[in-house]
Chain A
Amino acid sequence: MRNKNSELQNHLPNAQTIRRFQLQNGITVLAYSNMESKSLTIIGMLDGGSAWDQPEKLGTANFTASMLMRGNEHLSFQEINDKLESVGASLSFSAGTMNTWFQGRALVKDFPMLLSLIVDSLTKPAFPEEYIARLRNQLLTSLIIRDQDTTERAALEFDKVLFKGHPYALPVDGFTDTIAQIQRQDLIHHHSSYRPQHATIAISGALPFEKMEELIRTQFEQWTPMGKPSKPSPAPFQLVQSRTRIHIPIEGKSQSDIQMGTFGPSRTASDFYAAYLGNHVLGQFGLYGRIGRSVRNKAGLAYYAFSSLNALPETGSWEFNAGVNPANVEKTIDLIVDEIKRYLQEPLQQEELEDSKSHLIGRLPMSLESNAGIANALLSIERFELGLDYFQTYADRLRRITPEQILEVSRRYLDPGKLVIISAGAKNEP
């Protein structure tokens, strides 16, 4: 196995083939030249997310990001989209809790145009009133649709309970009443929090490094740093003290969604990899790991039932999800809790741990096949300080982990008596 994996690792981006450099304005760039493709993908991340929003105007960061392509000092909405769509390029901006993101893709010949659009959108948005009104309607409609979505409603309530008091508790896209409150001045004010100093850009695609760097410097060094970056100081996370069980009734739905779980490790925590491997055995390997075998294969209750780690910079959540008939909600919750208890009773079998390790190590090249996959991975390398040799050290990081380490970390995070358990769907009452 080791030799085969070595062969695969030779093809992966490494410290020699990833170029990392900094622009004069403080932007960090990671670039990878992939001459086998015909296009380039660029992904960027900067400070400024819903954590900056005033509570009564929640959704401002997302609204602002969505307005960036609706006109700037040089180009109208029509002209921006005409430039992109006429050559089959794409560009989008979005906001998370702590950051604003952009992602673009173009054929090689159109890449300079894409970079120019990104910089103009980030630095010179016009926020035309006509498009504020139009986008507001679109956002409100998406919230109406969200209200009827069992998966979304369960996830919203889960975040609200688990991250109580912290910006992670609130939806980035806001609520109908907060979206209605947002004015043009709020968008301009939020946009003023964008700074190049802490921004990171990752690029992968069919250009030599020298050309990539030249293009990036030409475009992005136009972005002048203005003032010191400011970050909100969210309240500390509060540990969950007891089991919480909430059902969100949504009538007329054939299927209910369950989301349950608790806190998990942050992406930079020293115990992240042990939890990551343990979770893979518990709810990922093959068709959803042990959870899938219990809920789907043996009981036949669900089309999907799995667990996942949502590892963020400051914290994380360890989540369990399933979609089931409303009559089977409680039975499914019981089965998942039973699996968690069994998982916490004794160390994993060596064989199932080795299966998960070899799967995670073996699939790495597949996740890096596309420019988007590489660019996303490069951004994570920078964001979580993983090192430019991350893909070369990844296998050894996983191989070193023992069943005892996994049991120890799992017991620290998972407590069946303190789970947040949410369901959304028809009738069923807890």
Chain B
Amino acid sequence: MHNDIVTFQLANGLKVLLKEIHTTPIISQWVWYRVGSRNEKPGIRGISHWVEHLQFKGTKKYPGEQLDQTISRVGGMWNAMTYLDWTTYYETLPASEVDLVLALEADRMQNSTFDEGEVNAERTVVISELEGNENEPLFHLNSAIQAQAFQLHPYAHDVIGTLEDLQNMTRDQLFTYYRSHYHPANAILSIAGDFNTADLTKKIEHYFSDIPVHSGDSEPILQEPLQQQEKQLEIKGPGDALYIQIAYHAPQADSREFFILTVLDSLLAGPSPLVMFGGGSISNRTSRLYQALVEKDIAVSVNGDVQATIDPFLHTFVLTLNPTADPQQALHTFDDEISRIQNEPISKQEIDRAIQQAEAMFAYGSENITNQAFWMGYSNIFANYDWYRNYLQSLRSITSTEVQTFAQKHFSAHNRTVGIFYPTPQEEHNAK
């Protein structure tokens, strides 16, 4: 397996990253666009995700279902994801079919039709996806937390959007958004797998070089001012389980503080999986918060989450409480652990353990070709490939003093938003 990559940029601005891996005769191609919910305005909340859906509805060359049929019939798997900072499309399939997916992604970078009928059929599909999310208490809690935590920055809003905007957006708004954000200078192409770099480079030039750059509206993103005081919220919904979510403003991915936070989160709540899919996870039963909350019968589970984002986002903890536990007692216990990490010495052994866990997760997450291609593009969204290449080295350089100093600043009460989901008994709902 080759460990290095080839990077170049086409004259139209398309950034390309290639990594030859010859273990299996397959390739994985990812096209990343620097557009996500962070680019949305009032009235078009959810447009990035809806555009992603419409990118599967065809071009003149590959109309409607033919796109899907073309990839599927060669045994390929393909999909797309939209997040705060990005939208990405990927295909993993036999290496012999690389021309097919290069042609397809080059074509839909500029030629998607956004047929009016397809737009309206997909409107209800996206609304159905939103309704599925709304079935989950934690979706409501998380949405409320984000909305409270951010006053100016668009990270306040869910990627899926709002029902009102999804009901009212027009085909022209969607198409204009697509034309503004889908062009080579706003995209990253990453391919890993069984190919010859020189041959593939020629193919990429053939398919992508002639795609023009569109001038998109690139209004600056409003930066979030420092939070001045702790925010608290409560929401109620059907169910019997009580959840607490605690969110702290967190550093952006391309900062040293992000790596410190990664170690800190691992000490408190166990290591988070590196990739957003696959790779698996390891348990967190020896983490400080599990020991304090689950082993003391206050919570039945506790999880931490850190996301790699362009701008400062949120470091969150979710506690699912034991039905007999008092939420205030749970919060008190949580705060005791925060205070302990801020004030008591952290052993080198504990830091080393977090690094070892990260090393194992890193090894698992890098084992397949799809993940290798994922990382080349993903790391370029918020930093560059060196961020990924040096990931373990960056973690290994973190000292216990740095972790503690950061914890003292990061875990201040005015930096957090606390939300509690209170379940309402079924009969209360039936009475509505």
Cβ-defined contact, B300 with A141, below 8 A: yes
A150 surroundings in chain B (CB, below 8 A): 135
Q: Counting CB contacts under 8 A, is B332 at the interface? A: no
Cβ-defined contact, B426 with A355, below 8 A: no
Q: Counting CB contacts under 8 A, is A303 at the interface? A: yes
Answer whether A254 and B131 are a contact pair too, CB < 8 Å, given A39-B367, A84-B283, A369-B369.
yes
Q: How far is the CA of A147 from the CA of B241 in the complex (A)?
A: 10
Stretch at the interface among B118-126, B181-189, B226-234, B373-381: B118-126
Of B121, B323, B356, the residue contacting A87 (CB under 8 A) is B356
Q: How far is the CA of A149 from the CA of B353 in the complex (A)?
A: 37
Tell me, rounded to whole Å, the shortest Cβ–Cβ distance linking B248 to chain A. 24
Cβ-defined contact, B73 with A358, below 8 A: yes
Q: Counting CB contacts under 8 A, is A238 at the interface? A: no
Of A11, A88, A250, the residue contacting B357 (CB under 8 A) is A88
Cβ-defined contact, A38 with B72, below 8 A: no
Q: Counting CB contacts under 8 A, is B239 at the interface? A: yes
Q: How far is the CA of A202 from the CA of B280 in the complex (A)?
A: 18
Interface centre among B294, B320, B322, B364 (most CB of A within 10 A): B364
Q: Counting CB contacts under 8 A, is A285 at the interface? A: yes
Q: Counting CB contacts under 8 A, is B168 at the interface? A: no
Q: How far is the CA of A299 from the CA of B120 in the complex (A)?
A: 10
Q: Please provide the chain B residues from 249 to 296 with a CB less than 8 Å away from any CB of chain A in the complex.
A: 270-271, 278, 280-287, 294-295
Cβ-defined contact, B93 with A355, below 8 A: no
Answer whether A90 and B283 are a contact pair too, CB < 8 Å, given A8-B94, A11-B24, A361-B75.
yes
Answer whether A362 and B286 are a contact pair too, CB < 8 Å, given A38-B367, A148-B239.
no
B24 surroundings in chain A (CB, below 8 A): 11, 365, 369
B68 surroundings in chain A (CB, below 8 A): 286-287
Cβ-defined contact, A89 with B360, below 8 A: yes
Q: How far is the CA of A399 from the CA of B123 in the complex (A)?
A: 39
Nearest B residue (CB) for A35: B23
Q: Counting CB contacts under 8 A, is B328 at the interface? A: no
Q: Counting CB contacts under 8 A, is A360 at the interface? A: yes
Q: Counting CB contacts under 8 A, is B52 at the interface? A: no
Interface centre among A39, A84, A250, A253 (most CB of B within 10 A): A253
Q: Counting CB contacts under 8 A, is A23 at the interface? A: no
Q: Counting CB contacts under 8 A, is A400 at the interface? A: no
A360 surroundings in chain B (CB, below 8 A): 75
Q: Counting CB contacts under 8 A, is B5 at the interface? A: no
Cβ-defined contact, B360 with A251, below 8 A: no
Cβ-defined contact, A252 with B300, below 8 A: no
Using an 8 Å CB-CB cutoff, how does the interface string of A298-339 with B read, 1 for contact, 0 for none? 111111100000000000000000011100000000000000
Q: Counting CB contacts under 8 A, is B26 at the interface? A: yes
Stretch at the interface among A132-140, A227-235, A409-417: A132-140
Nearest A residue (CB) for B75: A362
Cβ-defined contact, B131 with A255, below 8 A: yes
Cβ-defined contact, B26 with A365, below 8 A: yes
Tell me, rounded to whole Å, the shortest Cβ–Cβ distance linking B131 to chain A. 4
A371 surroundings in chain B (CB, below 8 A): 367
B429 surroundings in chain A (CB, below 8 A): 251-252
Tell me, rounded to whole Å, the shortest Cβ–Cβ distance linking B162 to chain A. 13
Answer whether A85 and B241 are a contact pair too, CB < 8 Å, given A255-B135, A303-B125.
no
Q: Please provide the chain B residues from 343 to 372 with a CB less than 8 Å away from any CB of chain A in the complex.
A: 353, 356-361, 363-364, 367-370
Tell me, rounded to whole Å, the shortest Cβ–Cβ distance linking B283 to chain A. 6
Q: Counting CB contacts under 8 A, is A107 at the interface? A: yes
Q: How far is the CA of A253 from the CA of B424 in the complex (A)?
A: 13
Q: Please, how many residues of chain A have a CB less than 8 angstroms from a CB on the other chain?
A: 72
Nearest B residue (CB) for A425: B135
Tell me, rounded to whole Å, the shortest Cβ–Cβ distance linking A225 to chain B. 31
A105 surroundings in chain B (CB, below 8 A): 280, 364
Q: Counting CB contacts under 8 A, is A192 at the interface? A: no
B96 surroundings in chain A (CB, below 8 A): 4, 7
Cβ-defined contact, A81 with B285, below 8 A: yes
Tell me, rounded to whole Å, the shortest Cβ–Cβ distance linking A294 to chain B. 12
Of B241, B364, B368, the residue contacting A145 (CB under 8 A) is B241
Tell me, rounded to whole Å, the shortest Cβ–Cβ distance linking A116 to chain B. 18
Q: How far is the CA of A255 from the CA of B357 in the complex (A)?
A: 39
Using an 8 Å CB-CB cutoff, how does the interface string of B292-305 with A read, 1 for contact, 0 for none? 00110100110000
Answer whether A372 and B358 are a contact pair too, CB < 8 Å, given A150-B135, A296-B125, A303-B132.
no
Q: How far is the CA of A105 from the CA of B279 in the complex (A)?
A: 11
Cβ-defined contact, A88 with B323, below 8 A: no
Tell me, rounded to whole Å, the shortest Cβ–Cβ distance linking A325 to chain B. 6
Cβ-defined contact, A37 with B72, below 8 A: no
Tell me, rounded to whole Å, the shortest Cβ–Cβ distance linking A21 to chain B. 26
Q: Please provide the chain A residues from 25 to 76 with a CB less than 8 Å away from any CB of chain B in the complex.
A: 36-39
Q: Counting CB contacts under 8 A, is A144 at the interface? A: yes
Cβ-defined contact, B128 with A362, below 8 A: no
Tell me, rounded to whole Å, the shortest Cβ–Cβ distance linking A186 to chain B. 21
Cβ-defined contact, A303 with B128, below 8 A: yes
Cβ-defined contact, A325 with B128, below 8 A: yes
Q: How far is the CA of A38 from the CA of B367 in the complex (A)?
A: 8
B94 surroundings in chain A (CB, below 8 A): 4, 8, 362, 365
B75 surroundings in chain A (CB, below 8 A): 358-364, 366
Q: How far is the CA of A92 from the CA of B283 in the complex (A)?
A: 9
Q: Which 4 interchain pairs have the tightest Cβ spacing?
A: A362-B75, A88-B360, A252-B238, A300-B124
- List A residues at the B interface (Cβ < 8 Å): 4, 7-8, 11, 36-39, 77-78, 81-82, 84-90, 92, 105-107, 134, 137-138, 140-142, 144-145, 147-150, 250-255, 285-287, 293, 296-304, 323-325, 354-355, 358-366, 369-372
Q: List 20 A-B contacts (CB under 8 A).
A: A37-B367, A39-B364, A81-B285, A85-B357, A86-B353, A86-B357, A89-B282, A105-B364, A134-B294, A145-B320, A149-B135, A150-B135, A255-B131, A255-B134, A255-B135, A301-B125, A303-B132, A360-B75, A366-B75, A371-B367
